[in-house]
Amino acid sequence: MYTRYILLSAVLCLSVSLLARSKTDVLVMKNGDRMTCAVKGLDSGVLYVDFDYIDGTASVDWSKVARLESNQLFLVKTQDGSVYAGTLSTPEAGAGRPLKIQVAETPEREAVIDRSQVVRMIATSDSFWQRFNGGISLGVIYSKGNESTQYSLSSEASYVRERWTARGGFASNLSSSTGVTVSTRNSVNFDVLHLLPRNHWFYSGLGGLLQSSEQGITLQSTFGGGVGRYLINTDRASVAVLGGAAFQNTDYKQSTVPANGQHVAAALMYVHAKMFKFSKTNLDATAALLPALSDPGRVRFNTNVSYYIKIIGNLKWNVSFYGNWDNRPPLGLSGSDYGTSSGLTWTFGLK
């Protein structure tokens, strides 16, 4: 059953790729360089563009851009949580005055935004497939000495609309060694976030499926949601917190004492943090604390941390850490499962 979950997630993520955009956008740098290109978007202080004469996507320092013109459709997100949709242009500004971005949804409806307030610009369209962003990671370690093999495979994809975003991903880890039982961990996670009219606030629904041989978990299903707020939201860092409620249903393998299935209602405290450094590295970390309401005193905690280093183009090197803890597991089963992995990541869209 878990294999079907993983294969389905992999097929969905692998099948997604952005269609080619026309390279008619105009980019002018502060030093006077003028380029015709296709702007893919802005993320982490990096403007991603494609050229006819360069293979792959180029990274441009957003702070050094003097002018930008594009007839393509973009979603523009600002520090206060506002979202605008439309084509891009740069109004004339006097010497020494800050750059402003004009977003035109229609000729009669326009918004002018300070460049310093822009957090993300996402190239989008009415086409379903052109709204996806994501990445695929693979890592393998082999040692002849004890016939030890470790592999990790993961993928993620996000679908972006004007005021909401849906994300999904899976991760699979396997470790085998001569004379030792094979250890496996497979997870599927998904969430939907919708911005509220009030700046910085949003509501979100979360879900996940987990299998862990180390903890004796055959299948753990988690569903929850709540209201959150961005504490930090700039082109260099993003920190969001969420509070709400969740429900977990866990099926365990046979242990020394029968565990059967366990159903737990819990409070949910969730944190998602991202840190960036221009076109070189970025850190993505999530953590969820679930104090049980129906089983007072029981607490579950899980976290995922990934650090990416750019190699070339859309290829990155990643180092990841995962962990799950339960302070009151069934008798005879482990209360924790954690590990690290590293490997290559290929990204598509604005990732």
User: Is residue 230 included in any domain, yes or no?
Assistant: yes
Tell me what pLDDT residue 14 has.
42
Is residue 76 within 8 Å of 120, Cβ to Cβ?
yes
Q: Are residues 168 and 182 in the same domain?
A: yes
Q: Are residues 39 and 169 in the same domain?
A: no
Q: Which of 93, 110, 126 is the last residue of a domain?
A: 126
Q: Are residues 234 and 334 in the same domain?
A: yes
Least confident of 125-134, 165-174, 237-246, 266-275: 125-134
pLDDT, mean of residues 41-58: 79
Q: Are residues 93 and 240 in the same domain?
A: no
pLDDT tens-digit profile of 179-189?
778 889 999 99
Q: Are residues 163 and 296 in the same domain?
A: yes
| Number of other residues whose CB lies within 10 A of the CB of residue 34 | 10
User: Is residue 20 included in any domain, yes or no?
Assistant: no
pLDDT tens-digit profile of 50-103?
888 777 678 888 888 888 888 888 888 888 777 888 888 887 655 556 678 888
Q: Are residues 191 and 305 in the same domain?
A: yes
Tell me what pLDDT residue 127 has.
56
Q: Which of 105, 126, 147 is the last residue of a domain?
A: 126
- For residues 310 and 314, what is the distance between their CA atoms, to the nearest angstrom? 8
DSSP code for 5: H
Check whether 255 has a pLDDT greater than 70. Answer: no
Q: Are residues 120 and 263 in the same domain?
A: no
User: Is residue 37 included in any domain, yes or no?
Assistant: yes
Give the pair of three-digit tokens for residue 67. 């002018």
Give the pair of three-digit tokens for residue 243. 């509070």
- pLDDT grade for 116, boundaries at 50, 70 and 90: confident
Place of tokens 């001569």: 178
- Angle (nearest 5°) at CA 203 between 200 and 209: 130
Least confident of 162-176, 254-268, 317-331, 333-347: 254-268
User: Is residue 91 included in any domain, yes or no?
Assistant: yes
Q: Are residues 197 and 58 in the same domain?
A: no
Check whether 112 has a pLDDT greater than 80. Answer: yes
Provide the residue type at 187 as one letter. Answer: S
- For residues 170 and 188, what is the distance between their CA atoms, to the nearest angstrom? 4
Q: Which of 96, 126, 156 is the last residue of a domain?
A: 126
pTM over 0.75: no
Q: Are residues 201 and 64 in the same domain?
A: no
Check whether 132 has a pLDDT greater than 80. Answer: no
User: Is residue 95 included in any domain, yes or no?
Assistant: yes
Most confident of 14-23, 33-42, 97-106, 282-291: 282-291
User: Is residue 308 included in any domain, yes or no?
Assistant: yes
Which CATH number belongs to the domain containing residue 208 in this structure?
Answer: 2.40.160.40
Tell me what pLDDT residue 131 has.
63
Number of domains in the chain: 2
Q: Are residues 44 and 114 in the same domain?
A: yes
- pLDDT grade for 171, boundaries at 50, 70 and 90: very high
Compute the half-sphere exposure of residue 135: CA atoms within 13 Å on the CB side of its CA.
18
Which CATH number belongs to the domain containing residue 113 in this structure?
Answer: 2.30.30
pLDDT tens-digit profile of 294-351?
999 999 999 999 999 988 877 899 999 999 999 999 888 899 999 998 999 988 765 5
Tell me what pLDDT residue 153 has.
92
Tell me what pLDDT residue 159 has.
82
User: Is residue 34 included in any domain, yes or no?
Assistant: yes
Full domain range(s) for residue 64: 25-126
Q: Are residues 103 and 177 in the same domain?
A: no
User: Is residue 251 included in any domain, yes or no?
Assistant: yes
Q: Are residues 140 and 225 in the same domain?
A: yes
